[in-house]
Amino acid sequence: MTNADEDCISYFIVVDGIEEETTSLIREYFPNVRSGVRPDTLIPYRSIPCEINEIENTLAWITKNLTNSHSETCLIISINSLRNWANFYVPHQLIGLVQKYQIDLKISFLSPARKRNSDSPAEA
C-alpha cells in the first residue's frame, strides 16, 4: 500500500519509569521530549519524537545515560491516516535496532473519527 498525502508516520522512543531528577538530563539532550503518566499504573514516562535516522543515536544515548534510571524502553511507530492500512512493512533497520537494544516495538494506527451519513441532520 502506498502512502497518501494525508498519511503521517511518526517515530517515538518512550521511556517508562523515569525519575523526576533524570528529566532535566533528558530535556538538555532532547528539547522536544514530552512527559506523561500512565493512567492505569501511574508510572511516569517520557516520549522522545525522532526522525527514522535519529532512532539509533537516541537509543544509544538512553542506554549510555539512563542505565538503571528507567524501567522500560519502547519504539513506537505511529501511523495517522484517513484510510485503512492493510499492510505496513517495518524497515529492516528498525527491526535490527529493536533486537540490538532489546526493546519492545509498538505500532499504532490512528484515524480521525468520521461522522456517518446517518449522523447528519435530516433535510426538511
pLDDT digits (tens, 9 = 90+) for 64-93: 998 887 889 999 999 888 777 667 889 999
Q: Is residue 58 part of a domain?
A: yes
- The answer as to whether 8 is a domain residue is no
In angstroms, the CA 32 to CA 47 distance is 9
Residue 124 pLDDT more than 70?
Answer: no
Place of cell 498519511: 7
Instruction: Look at residue 68 and tell me if it is in a domain.
Output: yes
What is d(CA 89, CA 87) in angstroms, rounded to the nearest whole number? 6
**61 within domain boundaries:** yes
Coil, strand or helix at 109:
strand
Q: pLDDT tens, 101-122?
A: 999 999 998 877 665 665 555 5
Assigned domain for 90 exists: yes
Residue 45 maps to a domain: yes
Alpha-carbon torsion, ordered 68, 108, 113, 8, to 10 deg: 100
Give the count of domains, the chain. 1
Q: Which set of grid coordinates corresponds to residue 25? A: 538530563
Question: Does some domain include residue 10?
Answer: no
Look-up of cell digits 516520549: 47
Domain that holds residue 105: 17-111
Length of the chain as a residue count: 124
